[in-house]
């Protein structure tokens, strides 16, 4: 009800949030807060987003159920699990190998067979599987990465936070041919989207 009052009105998104157990994706020290509407720390200096943001970003993608979705930034796996209830298949990429291993174990435990994972630089997306009908980025870039918009199908939608530490906005980009329509939707605060992999010269 709290999420509905805050703007998550899509019934499919609300059902997905209800059926994905958030406590499975939260670290033990924070289990008592698993169902609070707040972001929580996870390993590798990352966070699991608050349920409201997960719900709104999922709703912004306008998923009908048959889409092929790319998620950049697997993190705990919670957002990908929610998307798995809303789309045909979710391709999710993560630069932190320990986070990806944990997320894969959670997907297996929940029996999510339509989530495919890859350990890679998120800026590169998953070009071999492109184009994607929808792309969601769960870390903030200073500018929209062309390498990701190039993987968006005609008519496709990409949702991501854009900005620096001072000010970030959820942006929705819709591709029509070679044109991208841009909408600014919501002020947020996300961890930064970084290039490279930890240990190869990229920032941890």
How far apart, in whole angstroms, are the C-alpha atoms of residue 37 and residue 52?
Answer: 7
Listing DSSP states for 157-191 in one string gives EEEEEEE-SS-EEEEEEEEETTEEEEEEEEEE--P
Q: Kindly list the structural domains of the chain, giving each domain's residue range(s) and its CATH number in brackets, ordered by start.
A: 2-188 (3.40.50.150)
Four-residue CA torsion sign, 55, 172, 124, 196: negative
> Per residue in 126-166, pLDDT tens?
999 999 999 999 999 999 999 999 999 999 999 999 998 88
- How would residue 112 be classed by pLDDT, with cut points 50, 70 and 90? very high
- Full-model pTM: 0.94
**What pLDDT was estimated at residue 203?**
40
pLDDT tens digits, residue range 41-83? 999 999 999 999 999 999 999 999 999 999 999 999 999 999 9
Is 202's pLDDT higher than 50? Answer: no
The residues carrying an active-site annotation are 49
Closest CA to 24 of 69, 74, 81, 70: 81
């Amino acid at each position: 009800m709290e999420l509905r009052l805050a703007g998550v009105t899509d019934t499919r998104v609300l059902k997905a949030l209800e059926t994905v157990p958030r406590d499975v994706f939260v670290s033990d020290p924070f289990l008592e807060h698993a169902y609070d509407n707040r972001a929580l720390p996870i390993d590798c200096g990352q966070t699991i987003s608050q349920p409201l943001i997960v719900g709104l970003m999922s709703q912004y993608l306008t998923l009908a159920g048959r889409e092929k979705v790319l998620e950049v930034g697997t993190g705990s796996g919670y957002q990908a699990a929610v998307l798995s209830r809303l789309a045909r298949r979710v391709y999710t990429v993560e630069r932190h190998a320990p986070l990806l291993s944990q997320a894969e174990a959670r997907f297996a435990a929940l029996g999510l067979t339509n989530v495919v994972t890859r350990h890679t630089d998120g800026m590169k997306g998953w070009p071999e599987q492109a184009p994607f009908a929808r792309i969601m980025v769960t870390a903030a870039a200073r500018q929209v990465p062309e390498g990701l918009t190039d993987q968006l199908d005609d008519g496709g939608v990409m949702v991501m936070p854009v900005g620096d530490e001072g000010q970030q906005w959820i942006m929705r980009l819709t591709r029509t041919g070679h044109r991208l329509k841009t909408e600014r939707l919501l002020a947020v605060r996300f961890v930064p989207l970084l290039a490279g992999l930890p240990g190869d010269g990229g920032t941890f």
